[in-house]
């Protein structure tokens, strides 16, 4: 169970807009901020992440593969 901290920031994924390069920069930056949380989510709740119908299950598997790929995170940091 997570402790409640009134000073904690809540972050969400930013979706890039194709016509705005700044949006891509901000989206990549936010992903890097969320990297550890996403990796922990996959590590501790893999079964729950993979729940759902065939289409969502397939998409979840794709995303898990990306989240677990250290080359993806290294490339994003560059």
The most distant pair of C-alpha atoms in the chain lies apart, rounded to whole Å, by 40
**Tell me, what's the pLDDT at 3?**
59
**For residues 36 and 50, what is the distance between their CA atoms, to the nearest angstrom?**
19
How many other C-beta atoms are found inside a 10 Å radius of the C-beta of residue 67? 19
**Tell me, what's the pLDDT at 57?**
86
**Tell me, what's the pLDDT at 1?**
47
Average pLDDT over residues 45-54: 85
Domain ranges across the chain: 21-77
How many other C-beta atoms are found inside a 10 Å radius of the C-beta of residue 40? 11
pLDDT for 35 beyond 70: yes
């Amino acid at each position: 169970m997570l402790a409640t901290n009134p000073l904690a920031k809540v972050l969400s994924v930013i979706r890039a807009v194709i016509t705005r390069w700044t949006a891509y920069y901000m989206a990549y930056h936010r992903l890097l901020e969320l990297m550890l949380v996403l990796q922990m989510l996959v590590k501790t709740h893999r079964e729950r992440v993979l729940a759902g119908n065939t289409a969502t299950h397939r998409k979840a598997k794709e995303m898990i593969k990306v989240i677990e790929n250290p080359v993806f995170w290294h490339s994003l940091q560059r």
